[in-house]
Structure 1
Amino acid sequence: MSADDETRDLLILGGGLVGMTLALAAAKKGLSSHIVDRADPAELTAEGFDDRATAISTASWHLFTNIGIAEGLEEFACDISSIAVTDQNRPGRLDFQPEPHEGTLGRMFPNRRLRLALFEAAAAEPLVNWVAKAEVTKRERSEFGVAAGLADGRKLKGRLMVAAEGRGSPTREDAGITIAKWDYHHRAIIAGLTHEKPHDNVAWEIFYPAGPFALLPMQDDADGTHRSSLVWTVSEEDGKGVMKLGERAFLAEVEKRMGGVLGKVLSVGQRSSWPLGFHHTAKITDERLALVGDAAHGIHPIAGQGLNLGLRDVGALVEVLADGASIGLDPGDPQLLKRYENWRGLDSFMVALATDGLTRLFGVPGAAASAVRRLGMSAVQRTPALKTFFMDEARGVSGDLPELLRA
């Protein structure tokens, strides 16, 4: 019998960073999966395909360590040792810097490296049947199991369907799960930069009325060229114009907003632009169905928590299913799904609300609003307990953490 013909514990629809991590984490607990994705892995890992980079929190790094991919990723990591937050580079800066014994606030990785590590691990894992370049044309769920019909006529069967396709999840739509959403009418412009001064492992979050302007530290090139990843939020109407700017004009606009923190900007990589919105589902489970990652919650990238929130979903779902398996429960058992719903529903909603609130707070224009924000930031700067709270949130180590996300 081929792997495609087996009925596996999980049928994961969507093989991005969250879906692939889920398949590998489940395998570590002895749970088998089919993972189906439309994309061609060769294209996703091609040099130059994607200039995006992702901040991996401390808790997410523990997850990568526990599933065995951290060692291969370590050489590509750039530590975030502190975060500097300013309102338009005016006085009243807020600095988050953990004590030396607390470690970093996270690590930056090129998305391409994360994909390569996950794909290599999945290809070598017998409990993961990875079906790439496949179109799902039919989804079936019943009290007896789940199945996905593919465009080429194949049919994959499982016990629990997991929607991991991202924001526009067709599986979520197919299940009729209601969703609250709004558009920020903003776009994130993302590009890699090289610059004159070293970043000293500091991540900068500079707030402007149009949205945050973030500079995230990346590893220096082999020849010592200093590099950072830019995430610049602009209004929807300005987005097209910013994308069309010539390189010199784009560099001039970026330099103006940086306020000299990294010196002269030397070059910019390939630019990409992404619409920004908020969405949250009314529930994250249904009959033999669980939602993970952006299929369940889409948030503003203001705090860099999108992927990390999805990886918390992964850790919780795997722990719930493994606990169930140890007493003989089927992965689609309603009690297990209820436990997952209760565990993740509120936490992800609170993070989503907090990021939405920050986006709105820093988007209020005018000198008075700026003065109030800077007053609040200086109060946090002088309150160690508050700073520790925010740093623990950034590192993902607060709340009821799944076992796989602990050291």
Structure 2
Amino acid sequence: MATAAPLHPKFDILVAGAGASGLIAAIALARTGHSVALVGKTPGPLPGRTVALFEGSLRHLDDLGLREPLQEISAVVKGIRIIDDTSSLFRPPPALFTSDEIGLDAFGLNVPNDDIVAMLSKVVDGMGDITRIEAFVSRYDFREDGVTAFVDDGREIECAVVVAGDGRNSPARKAAKIEIKEWSYPQTAITGILRHRRPHDDITTEFHTRFGPFTFVPMPATSDAPRRSSLVWLMPPAEAKRRLALDPRKLAAEIEDQSHYRYGAIEIEGKLGAFPMAGMRTLKVSGPRLMLVGEACHVFPPLGAQGLNLGIRDSSDAALALDGVDLTNAKAIEAAVTEYEKSRRADIDIRTRGVDILNRTLLADFLPVDFLRGVGLAAVTAIGPLRRAILREGVEPTLARTLTNFAPGSRP
């Protein structure tokens, strides 16, 4: 790993943020041949948090040489089971979708968040073309002729472009004065790792309750726990507070009851996590000499495993836009930033709105909404071509790219 010694180093690209999105962006951008500085501190542990990566994301990671090390710390997901547990009058029967319906061995992989960050950090540390700086950028000066990033360790970094994966409170986004829209939900998510008696059969099970999803996702087996799943349980904040105060055995009993004993006896492994449900999107995903990736430009609830999958597509499109660009040419940089904005806008908008609508339909105890949701799931289950089209779109999205290509001003 290279370490920057000068107080005024210069790079082609500065990547801000050392979480999963920032690390993937740095690796992808370094593959384009540009000099890259990765500035950020490794995030603290996130108990019980995992990320499910779909096949489309895994193909991007495979191009970066990351799929093989990722598989070693992940569990495969071959099926998705959806159970309407809202007690609605229009409740559809349980639906099971399997990867072989669309010719795949698996929909994707599920991996602990802390493990994927550690794996990506190890890869970055072994790359000679990424200079890693364990510090935070406190201030930016975006100018027509370049960018200066003022780092809290005293360094002033000069670069041509900033790619910011520095989270929902992104200093780079704020420095560029990019506006955001924020909203919240009356929900808190409890996350954790569970051991259970019955097998998960490589299937994610998502119970749709009146308070939001209650989801089990397969986890890798260990020598002393052959059957494990990650839990994401959305509920009212008061209920989350009550449950987090319970003895682990009593909470495990409530999880067994909520899951209708589908997984048999349950034991909680390690610490639980909890976080309030909120959403955010930016009105733009770029500014002069700036591209936003990951939660710097979109945040939404953990439905449909969209978060990091969307962030990986951000990083892939940022690298594609900057590949082969002369970063000493201001007009070339402006064109690359414009191309990135066009390529990401529809994808982010579709995913953000879709997750928001799904979550709100679960929370709405309103018969017409229940009817439409029930009919929609029943139609997807029963109509083969529609079912397969939606599965393919979920695994490797193409709708946003199609809309972008047909948008006014798009390249032919």
- Report if TM-score (shorter chain) is over 0.5: yes
Using the aligned pairs only, state the percent identity. 28
Q: How does 1:87-126 map to 2 (within 5 A)?
A: 87-88=84-85, 92-99=93-100, 101-126=103-128
Residues in 2 aligned to 1:215 and 1:143: alpha-carbon distance in whole angstroms = 49
- What is the aligned partner in structure 2 of residue 52 from structure 1? 49
TM-score, length-normalised on structure 1?
0.90
RMSD of aligned residue pairs (Cα, Å): 2.3
Judged with a 3 Å threshold, the aligned counterparts in structure 2 of structure 1 residues 3 and 330 are, in CA distance, closer, same or farther, namely farther
- What is the aligned partner in structure 1 of residue 407 from structure 2? none
Judged with a 3 Å threshold, the aligned counterparts in structure 2 of structure 1 residues 39 and 395 are, in CA distance, closer, same or farther, namely same
Give the drift of 1:357.
0.7
Residues in 2 aligned to 1:373 and 1:299: alpha-carbon distance in whole angstroms = 20
- What is the aligned partner in structure 2 of residue 127 from structure 1? 129
CA contact (8 A) 1:212 1:232 kept: yes
- What is the aligned partner in structure 2 of residue 15 from structure 1? 18
- What is the aligned partner in structure 2 of residue 84 from structure 1? 81
Q: How does 1:279-358 map to 2 (within 5 A)?
A: 279-325=280-326, 329=329, 333-358=333-358
- The count of residues paired between Structure 1 and Structure 2 equals 394
Equivalent position amino acid for 2:65 in 1: G
CA contact (8 A) 1:287 1:332 kept: no
CA contact (8 A) 2:204 2:218 kept: yes
Residues in 2 aligned to 1:322 and 1:330: alpha-carbon distance in whole angstroms = 15
Give the drift of 1:394.
2.4
Equivalent position amino acid for 1:355 in 2: V
Residues in 1 aligned to 2:275 and 2:47: alpha-carbon distance in whole angstroms = 12
- What is the aligned partner in structure 1 of residue 218 from structure 2? 217
Give the drift of 1:125.
1.0
Structure 2 alignment gaps of length 5 or more: 405-412
Residues in 1 aligned to 2:72 and 2:153: alpha-carbon distance in whole angstroms = 40
CA contact (8 A) 2:144 2:330 kept: no
Give the drift of 1:160.
0.5
- What is the aligned partner in structure 2 of residue 363 from structure 1? 363
- What is the aligned partner in structure 1 of residue 63 from structure 2? 66
Equivalent position amino acid for 2:202 in 1: N
Equivalent position amino acid for 2:73 in 1: F
1:24 counterpart = 2:6: no
Equivalent position amino acid for 1:290 in 2: M
Deviates more, 1:14-23 or 1:359-368: 359-368
1:208-263 CA distance string (max 9 Å, x none):
11111111011122235310000001122322222212212211221111112211
1:45-86 CA distance string (max 9 Å, x none):
xxxx63311101111111221111222222222111010111
Residues in 2 aligned to 1:175 and 1:339: alpha-carbon distance in whole angstroms = 18
Residues in 2 aligned to 1:346 and 1:393: alpha-carbon distance in whole angstroms = 14
CA contact (8 A) 1:288 1:334 kept: yes
CA contact (8 A) 1:79 1:104 kept: yes
Q: How does 1:248-287 map to 2 (within 5 A)?
A: 248-287=249-288
CA contact (8 A) 2:92 2:375 kept: no
CA contact (8 A) 2:249 2:267 kept: no
Judged with a 3 Å threshold, the aligned counterparts in structure 2 of structure 1 residues 275 and 293 are, in CA distance, closer, same or farther, namely same
Task: Give SS of 1:125's match.
Answer: coil
Equivalent position amino acid for 2:315 in 1: V
Give the drift of 1:124.
1.2
Equivalent position amino acid for 1:113 in 2: D
- What is the aligned partner in structure 2 of residue 235 from structure 1? 236
CA contact (8 A) 1:324 1:330 kept: no
Equivalent position amino acid for 1:390 in 2: I
Residues in 1 aligned to 2:244 and 2:331: alpha-carbon distance in whole angstroms = 46
CA contact (8 A) 2:139 2:175 kept: no
Residues in 2 aligned to 1:173 and 1:155: alpha-carbon distance in whole angstroms = 18
1:294-344 CA distance string (max 9 Å, x none):
11111221111001001100001100100434x985697111111100110
Equivalent position amino acid for 1:281 in 2: T
Residues in 1 aligned to 2:32 and 2:234: alpha-carbon distance in whole angstroms = 40
Residues in 2 aligned to 1:208 and 1:278: alpha-carbon distance in whole angstroms = 20
Residues in 2 aligned to 1:6 and 1:272: alpha-carbon distance in whole angstroms = 39
* The one of 33, 39, 59 aligned to 1:36: 39
Structure 1 alignment gaps of length 5 or more: 403-407
Residues in 2 aligned to 1:21 and 1:187: alpha-carbon distance in whole angstroms = 28
1:333-368 CA distance string (max 9 Å, x none):
111111100110111111110111111112222677
Judged with a 3 Å threshold, the aligned counterparts in structure 2 of structure 1 residues 249 and 365 are, in CA distance, closer, same or farther, namely farther
Residues in 2 aligned to 1:188 and 1:197: alpha-carbon distance in whole angstroms = 24
Equivalent position amino acid for 1:67 in 2: L
Residues in 1 aligned to 2:253 and 2:69: alpha-carbon distance in whole angstroms = 37
TM-score, length-normalised on structure 2?
0.89
Equivalent position amino acid for 1:163 in 2: A
Deviates more, 1:85-94 or 1:71-80: 85-94
CA contact (8 A) 1:242 1:250 kept: yes
Equivalent position amino acid for 1:345 in 2: R
